[in-house]
Structure 1
């Protein structure tokens, strides 16, 4: 599926469209270059899910936990600073990825070996006109 995000004024509607099409999937890996809009989209996604928490990039914490409108956990990961896969083992990734909670992962390229088989891979690419194309 493809969703076009024409600008920040349409990102929330793009997030709603994404949510309507995720089905029963729980783990989403977001791929894209630095500045493509991964964190911005995840923030919009969490807001549309009803998270009242302040949504920030977990670059230094590696994982942030939010609570959605149904009082369910939403885990937001940023693996940009991971240097060794052992760091992911040490943080107990299995407890998150196999919890049944929604997991939103930025920079999954660094942990491909431990992603669940049913991970949905989402690509965000900046287009020549400045819009973003989200494909999953």
Structure 2
């Protein structure tokens, strides 16, 4: 099925509005985040977590691979799969249990997770237009 595409340009000052838009326009709790290193994927995930009721400091799971956060209606799992080299590494920490848990799964560098994606997921593509301006496309 063809996914709907919604694109916006935004500055960092508008990140909370964009996070709200992501939640309004996605129809899945599994969201894949694509974009170059440093484009703002983790910053957007922090804003989404805030919208979901997580008001503490959210940190990037660069070395832990996945961080787990309790939110108002369950859990949010934030993945950073950049350091994953082999599919076996994903199964070593039980990725399939997270992905199929029914909880929020926000995944950076999802191209390393092709075999375990659920049927229903949304995608975010972020591109840097300049130092302060980004373009986001939401596919859901």
What is the TM-score with the length of structure 2 in the denominator? 0.88
Contact 1:53–1:66 (Cα < 8 Å) also in 2: no
Deviates more, 1:115-124 or 1:103-112: 115-124
User: How much does 1:66 deviate?
Assistant: 0.8
SS of alignment partner, residue 113 of structure 2:
helix
Give the ranges of 4+ consecutive aligned residues of structure 1 lying more than 6 Å apart after TM superposition.
none
1:119 to 2:121 alignment: yes
CA distance in structure 2 between the aligned counterparts of 1:102 and 1:55, rounded to whole angstroms: 14
Q: Cα deviation per residue 1:73-101 (whole Å; 9 max; x = unaligned)?
A: 00000001111110001111111111110
Q: How does 1:27-38 map to 2 (within 5 A)?
A: 27-38=30-41
RMSD of aligned Cα (Å): 1.4
Counterpart of 2:7 in structure 1 is 2
3-state SS, counterpart of residue 81 of structure 1: coil
Aligned residues: 133
Name structure 1 gaps, 5 residues minimum: none
